[in-house]
A and B are shown apart, each in its own frame.
Chain A
Amino acid sequence: MEQIFTLKKMERKLQHADRKHARLYLFCNFTALMIISAYSGMMLSPTVQKAFPTGGDSRKQMNAIFMLTLIGCVVFTVYAASLFFRHKSGQLGILMALGASRRRLIPGLFREVLLLSGLSSVAGTLAGFPFIWVIWTGFRLIMIDSSDMKLSFDFRCLLISLAFLLVVVAFSCLTAWRYLRRTNIMEVIREEHINEPVKELGKWCAPVGGILIALGVLAGYFMPVIYMRKFNTLSPVWLSALYLPALAGLYMVMLHAVVHGFRSYKRNPYKNIIARSMMKFQGKQTVNNMIVVTLLIAGACFGIFYIPIISVGAMMGYDAQPFDYFYHCRADQAMPEKEDIDALAGEYGLSLKDWGEYDYITLGFGNYGDVMEEDGEHWHTEYAPISGEEMAISEEAWNRLTGEEIDVLPGTYLCITNREETSLYVNTNARHLTNMVTRTQLSTQCAGLLHYDLLGGDRQCRVLDQGDYEKLSEGLTDDWKGTLTAFNVEGEDSYPFANALFRRLIASNGEDCFTSKEYSRVTSILAREEGKEDWQERESERSFMYVDPKEADSIVFRQNWKYKPSFRILSQNDFLLSTSVFLMMFLFIFIVCILTALIICHTRCQTIALNNRYIFDDLKKLGASPAFLKREVDSQCGGVFKVPALVGMVAIYLIFILLLYGNDGRIAFSEVMALAVCLGIELVLGGLIYGVYRFTARGIRRKLGIGGN
Chain B
Amino acid sequence: MLYVKNLHKSYQVGKNKYEVLKGIDFHVGKGEFVAVMGPSGSGKTTLLNCISCYIPFDQGEITIGGARLAGQSESELAKLRNTQIGFVFQDFMLLDGLTIRENILVPRIVQGEVSEEAQELADKLTGLFGISHIVNKYPAEISGGEKQRAAVARSLINNPLIILADEPTGNLDSKSSRAVIESFGEARERMGATIFMVTHDSFAASFCDRVVLLKDGSIYRQLENNGERGSFHDKLLAAIKEMAE
Seen from chain A, the residues whose Cβ lies within 8 Å of a Cβ on chain B are: 1, 3-7, 10, 13-14, 16-18, 91, 94-104, 183-186, 189
Chain A residues within 8 Å of B109, by CB: 4-7, 10
Distance between Cα atoms of A101 and B110 in the complex (Å): 9
Q: Which positions 18-57 of chain B face chain A at CB distance < 8 Å?
A: 49, 52-56
Chain B residues within 8 Å of A1, by CB: 99, 136
Check if B78 is an interface residue, CB within 8 A of chain A. yes
Chain B residues within 8 Å of A14, by CB: 95, 97-98
Q: What are the 4 closest A-B residue pairs judged by CB atoms, nearest first? A: A99-B82, A17-B97, A101-B78, A99-B81
Chain A residues within 8 Å of B101, by CB: 3
A-B CB contact pairs (8 Å), 23 listed:
A6-B112, A6-B113, A7-B110, A10-B102, A13-B102, A16-B97, A17-B96, A17-B97, A91-B95, A94-B106, A95-B110, A96-B81, A97-B87, A98-B106, A99-B79, A99-B107, A99-B111, A100-B82, A101-B74, A103-B75, A104-B78, A104-B110, A104-B112
CB distance from A106 to the nearest CB of B (A): 12
Chain A residues within 8 Å of B96, by CB: 17
Q: Are B81 and A97 in contact (CB under 8 A)?
A: yes
Chain A residues within 8 Å of B54, by CB: 97, 184-186
Known contacts A98-B107, A99-B80; 18 further A-B pairs (Cβ under 8 A): A1-B136, A4-B102, A4-B105, A5-B113, A5-B114, A6-B113, A10-B98, A13-B97, A14-B98, A17-B97, A97-B81, A97-B89, A99-B110, A104-B112, A183-B56, A185-B54, A186-B54, A186-B55
CB distance from B160 to the nearest CB of A (A): 10
Task: Using known A-B contacts A97-B81, A98-B81, A99-B79, determine if residue A5 contacts B97 with beta carbons closer than 8 Å.
Answer: no
CB distance from A524 to the nearest CB of B (A): 72
Chain B residues within 8 Å of A96, by CB: 78, 81
Interface of A is mostly: helix
Candidate in A1, A3, A98, A183 with the most chain B CB atoms within 10 angstroms? A98
Chain A residues within 8 Å of B87, by CB: 97-98
User: Can you list, as one digit per residue, whether each of B50-91 has a CB less than 8 Å from chain A (1) or not (0)?
Assistant: 001111100000000000000000110011111101010100
Distance between Cα atoms of A562 and B98 in the complex (Å): 75
A186 interface neighbour in B49, B107, B111, Cβ under 8 Å? B49
Distance between Cα atoms of A185 and B54 in the complex (Å): 5
CB closest chain-B residue, reference A15: B97
Check if B93 is an interface residue, CB within 8 A of chain A. yes
Chain A residues within 8 Å of B49, by CB: 186
Q: Are B105 and A100 in contact (CB under 8 A)?
A: no
Chain A residues within 8 Å of B107, by CB: 98-99
User: Can you list, as one digit per residue, whether each of B158-197 has a CB less than 8 Å from chain A (1) or not (0)?
Assistant: 1000000000000000000000000000000000000000
CB closest chain-A residue, reference B93: A94
CB distance from B71 to the nearest CB of A (A): 14
Q: Are A94 and B95 in contact (CB under 8 A)?
A: yes
Distance between Cα atoms of A4 and B56 in the complex (Å): 32
Q: Are A101 and B97 in contact (CB under 8 A)?
A: no
Q: Are A13 and B78 in contact (CB under 8 A)?
A: no
Chain A residues within 8 Å of B81, by CB: 96-99
Q: Are A98 and B56 in contact (CB under 8 A)?
A: no
Chain B residues within 8 Å of A18, by CB: 97
Chain A residues within 8 Å of B78, by CB: 96, 99-102, 104
CB closest chain-B residue, reference A184: B55
Q: Are A189 and B93 in contact (CB under 8 A)?
A: yes
Q: Are B82 and A4 in contact (CB under 8 A)?
A: no
Q: Are B98 and A4 in contact (CB under 8 A)?
A: yes
Distance between Cα atoms of A97 and B95 in the complex (Å): 12
Q: Are B79 and A101 in contact (CB under 8 A)?
A: yes
Chain A residues within 8 Å of B85, by CB: 99
Distance between Cα atoms of A22 and B111 in the complex (Å): 27
Candidate in B49, B54, B74, B85 with the most chain A CB atoms within 10 angstroms? B54
Q: Are B52 and A95 in contact (CB under 8 A)?
A: no
Chain A residues within 8 Å of B136, by CB: 1
Distance between Cα atoms of A136 and B87 in the complex (Å): 60
Q: Are B52 and A97 in contact (CB under 8 A)?
A: yes
Chain A residues within 8 Å of B75, by CB: 101-103
CB distance from A179 to the nearest CB of B (A): 14
Chain B residues within 8 Å of A186, by CB: 49, 54-55
Q: Which positions 82-138 of chain B face chain A at CB distance < 8 Å?
A: 82-83, 85, 87, 89, 93, 95-99, 101-102, 105-107, 109-114, 136
Distance between Cα atoms of A207 and B49 in the complex (Å): 47
Distance between Cα atoms of A419 and B105 in the complex (Å): 85
Distance between Cα atoms of A6 and B106 in the complex (Å): 9
Chain B residues within 8 Å of A99, by CB: 78-83, 85, 107, 110-111, 158
CB distance from B133 to the nearest CB of A (A): 14
CB closest chain-A residue, reference B97: A17
Distance between Cα atoms of A337 and B83 in the complex (Å): 103
CB distance from A44 to the nearest CB of B (A): 43
Distance between Cα atoms of A591 and B177 in the complex (Å): 58
CB closest chain-B residue, reference A94: B93
Chain B residues within 8 Å of A10, by CB: 98, 102, 106, 109
Distance between Cα atoms of A13 and B101 in the complex (Å): 14
Distance between Cα atoms of A95 and B102 in the complex (Å): 13
Candidate in A4, A183, A189 with the most chain B CB atoms within 10 angstroms? A4
Distance between Cα atoms of A18 and B98 in the complex (Å): 11
Chain B residues within 8 Å of A94, by CB: 93, 95, 106
Chain B residues within 8 Å of A4, by CB: 98, 102, 105, 109
Distance between Cα atoms of A5 and B116 in the complex (Å): 11
CB closest chain-A residue, reference B74: A102
CB closest chain-B residue, reference A186: B54
CB distance from B193 to the nearest CB of A (A): 17
CB closest chain-A residue, reference B108: A5
Chain A residues within 8 Å of B80, by CB: 99
CB distance from A15 to the nearest CB of B (A): 8
B55 interface neighbour in A3, A17, A103, A183, Cβ under 8 Å? A183
Chain B residues within 8 Å of A185, by CB: 53-55
CB closest chain-A residue, reference B73: A101
CB closest chain-B residue, reference A189: B93
Distance between Cα atoms of A174 and B95 in the complex (Å): 24
Distance between Cα atoms of A16 and B147 in the complex (Å): 22
CB distance from B82 to the nearest CB of A (A): 2
Distance between Cα atoms of A96 and B82 in the complex (Å): 9
Chain B residues within 8 Å of A97, by CB: 52, 54, 81, 87, 89, 93
Distance between Cα atoms of A1 and B93 in the complex (Å): 23
Candidate in B55, B87, B101, B110 with the most chain A CB atoms within 10 angstroms? B110
CB distance from B120 to the nearest CB of A (A): 13
Distance between Cα atoms of A184 and B83 in the complex (Å): 19
Distance between Cα atoms of A4 and B109 in the complex (Å): 8
Distance between Cα atoms of A430 and B109 in the complex (Å): 89
Chain A residues within 8 Å of B98, by CB: 4, 10, 13-14, 17
Distance between Cα atoms of A588 and B93 in the complex (Å): 48
CB closest chain-A residue, reference B106: A98
Distance between Cα atoms of A7 and B107 in the complex (Å): 10
CB distance from A89 to the nearest CB of B (A): 13
Chain B residues within 8 Å of A184, by CB: 54-56
Q: Are B114 and A95 in contact (CB under 8 A)?
A: no
Candidate in B56, B106, B112 with the most chain A CB atoms within 10 angstroms? B106
Distance between Cα atoms of A7 and B113 in the complex (Å): 8
Chain B residues within 8 Å of A189, by CB: 93
Task: Using known A-B contacts A3-B101, A103-B75, determine if residue A95 contacts B106 with beta carbons closer than 8 Å.
Answer: yes
CB distance from A362 to the nearest CB of B (A): 76
CB distance from B26 to the nearest CB of A (A): 22
Chain A residues within 8 Å of B74, by CB: 101-102, 183
Q: Are A100 and B97 in contact (CB under 8 A)?
A: no
Candidate in A13, A91, A101 with the most chain B CB atoms within 10 angstroms? A101
Chain A residues within 8 Å of B105, by CB: 4-5
